[in-house]
Every structure is written in structure tokens, then in C-alpha cells.
Amino acid sequence: MHNPVFYESLSYNTRISMPLTPGIRMGSYEILAPLGAGGMGEVYRAKDSKLKREVALKVLPEAFARDSERVARFQREAEVLASLNYPNIATIHS
């Protein structure tokens, strides 16, 4: 992925089942490859077709998307990252 790294956070759509595979589209994003997984979701390399850039797309699993506590935690994580401005820290765009 090219620098700077863009980081997008989405909650999982109930019509999509994990794991996402290359070629699947989520809105304006096309999944290119899995990057990793953790306690709050999975991260994928994706292409933003609107802005023609590669992004790291973090996806909140469907089961977590129904849990208001986890959704709030996911939102706080995005807000904290969005407040940071440093060359080697990902930028939150949505």
C-alpha cells in the first residue's frame, strides 16, 4: 500500500458473511486482500473506487454490529484515530 495509509471503518452489512474475499464490493470499496484480524474485526486491503486510492478497511463483524457496546467502542476507536495527525499513523476518512 502506498503512503500515506488511509483507514476506513465500516460496520458489517448483514447480507455479507465473513470472510470477505478479493473482488467483493462494499459500497465504493473493492476488497483486494485480507491484512489481519483482531478483537474488534478484520482488516482488508481495498480499493476506493471513488477516490482511486488503496485503503485499509476495518470491518466490524455482523455479531458485533448488533452489540451497542462494541459499536460504541468501534466508534471511539475511529474517533481517537481521527484525532491523531502524524505521518506514520493512519488517517480515518469515514
Least confident of 29-38, 42-51, 58-67: 58-67
What are the residue ranges spanned by the domains of the chain?
6-92
- pLDDT higher than 50, residue 1: no
DSSP string, the chain: -PSSPEEEEEEPPTT--SSP-TT-EETTEEEEEEEEEETTEEEEEEEETTTTEEEEEEEE-HHHHT-HHHHHHHHHHHHHHHH---TTSPEE--
The predicted-structure confidence for 12-35, as pLDDT tens digits, reads as follows 443 344 568 999 998 899 999 999
Residue 18 half-sphere exposure toward CB, CA atoms < 13 A: 16
Measured over all CA atoms, what is the biggest interatomic distance in the chain, rounded to whole angstroms?
Answer: 36
Q: Which amino acid is present at 62? A: E
**Average pLDDT for 52-81:** 86
- pLDDT higher than 80, residue 71: yes
Tell me the whole-structure pTM to 2 decimals: 0.70
pLDDT-derived band at 39, boundaries 50, 70, 90: confident
The pLDDT value given to residue 27: 87
> What architecture is domain 6-92?
2-Layer Sandwich (3.30)
